Amino acid sequence: MKQVTPSDVLQPSGGVFGAWTEALATQIPESEKERKEFGAILKQAGLYSRTARASVYAYRFLLLAFPLFCAGLIAVASPPEQTWKIMGLGGIAAAVLSIIPRLFVWHRRRVRLAQINGGLADMLDMLSMCLGGGMSISASLEHVAKNLANYPALSEELHIMRRQSDVGSLRMALIDWASRIDTPEVRQVATLLTRGDSLGTSLSGSLLDQADHFRTARKQLATLHANRMPVLLTFPLLFCFAPAVLIILMSPAMLQVSDFLNPKNGNNPLASNDTISTQRIANTLGSLNQDISAGDQQPLPLTSAEPRPSLAPPATRP
């Protein structure tokens, strides 16, 4: 059952582009399966307008066609050898821009589902207090929806569910809410409320237990993310800090090598474009030998106190 939301009142009946919206949207083909899946995503994102899908696809077509049109005009005014390059860049820009509307819907859906799941524990606490005070489920849902100011997405869903229960039945409203949001937490709450409504049992204790279960699950999920963070920080440390450390450690050695290989440095063997050959090495060793022999190297005199070594062979005993 479709409900009229504030977006239906504020938005024109034809969509964001008026009568052209549907014509622009039909330029992008899609199968029936894709149409149903994207319709479910729009509901989870809170876009309940009848023209929401057509508006998104109209934006997709315009963002796809406009870069190609601009690239074509630039290619006509450019030299012929630049045509393929310009058209290739235009195609890449068109492919990237055409994804933006679906990314917006996906991001809105993700944020909205996180807000709904985050407010279920508080909703169950308030609903348990209302039911414990003797209020009916329909009146309790209306009271909780008005006081969930911190969770506007959940408040909107509760308003829709209450109106559906007034028109039909609470069981059908809960089933539609579970299929519309389609998260495990919402399905658990819908099953709990449906069972309590059908059996006529007290739900206060069950709702409080379910709220504690949701808070425990959120705490465990936060602990999981905290334990995963050191592993995720390994990659920034490796690719961001390791190159800087290597530059600091290797810079002195690289500067010395660069200074040694500088053509203006006299110690550079390649300064005069000479090759390091065997003859050059032999000449260098010869010059070193001459420098050593040219030095003042006098032998130390032997004193009388020191015995001279005897050159005679030692005598053998008979």
What is the full per-residue pLDDT of the chain (318 aa) written as tens digits? 444 444 443 444 567 788 888 888 888 888 888 888 888 899 989 888 888 888 999 999 999 999 999 999 998 888 888 888 999 999 999 999 989 999 999 999 999 999 998 889 889 988 888 888 888 788 888 888 888 888 899 999 988 888 888 888 888 888 899 888 988 889 988 888 888 777 766 778 888 888 899 999 889 988 998 998 888 888 888 888 888 888 888 888 888 877 777 666 666 655 555 555 566 667 767 776 665 555 555 554 544 444 555 544 555 554
- The pTM for the full model equals 0.66
pLDDT at 104: 93
pLDDT at 270: 57
How confident is the model over 99-140, as pLDDT tens digits?
A: 999 999 999 999 999 999 888 988 998 888 888 888 878 888
pLDDT at 6: 43
pLDDT at 81: 86
pLDDT at 314: 52
pLDDT at 170: 84
Cα dihedral sign, 58-59-64-69:
positive
